């Protein structure tokens, strides 16, 4: 999926386009939740979402979505990560 397709997907599914984000190499974001549904398209690098029952690793071209209030840790690969992000308010 490219940027235009992902942005269309966000719009079609009620997500706000939050633009491009970056995270530093080897960063670990401790376990937390979001009070919104989140979706990303990885543009470069690697990010893993570590949840209680599974780990999902995404690289350039991959998409991933996470429901609100899902506990997860974010682990960034050795090159850092750059991604497009969307959020959808719940309730």
Domain locations in the chain?
A: 3-89
Summarize pLDDT for 24-46 with one digit per residue, the tens: 999 999 999 999 999 999 999 99
Using a 10 angstrom Cβ sphere, with 0-12 exposed, 13-18 middle and 19 or more buried, the burial of residue 81 is: buried
Q: Which helix (H) or strand (E) holds 10?
A: helix 3-12
Is the CB of residue 23 less than 8 Å from the CB of residue 75?
Answer: no
Query: Between 3.40.50.150, 2.60.120.10, 3.40.50.11890, 3.40.1380.20, what CATH number should domain 3-89 receive?
Result: 2.60.120.10
Q: Give the predicted TM-score (pTM) of the model.
A: 0.94
- Rounded to whole angstroms, the Cα distance separating 48 from 68 reads 17
Question: How many Cβ atoms from other residues are within 10 Å of residue 36's Cβ?
Answer: 18
How confident is residue 1, by pLDDT bands cut at 50, 70 and 90? confident
């Amino acid at each position: 999926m490219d940027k235009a397709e992902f942005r269309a997907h966000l719009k079609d599914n009620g997500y706000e386009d939050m633009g491009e984000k970056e995270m530093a190499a080897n960063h670990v974001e401790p376990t937390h939740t979001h009070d919104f549904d989140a979706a990303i398209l990885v543009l470069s690098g690697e990010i893993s979402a570590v949840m209680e029952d599974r780990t999902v690793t995404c690289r350039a071209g991959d998409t991933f979505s996470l429901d609100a209030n899902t506990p997860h840790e974010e682990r960034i690969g050795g090159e850092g990560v750059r991604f497009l992000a969307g959020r959808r308010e719940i309730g």
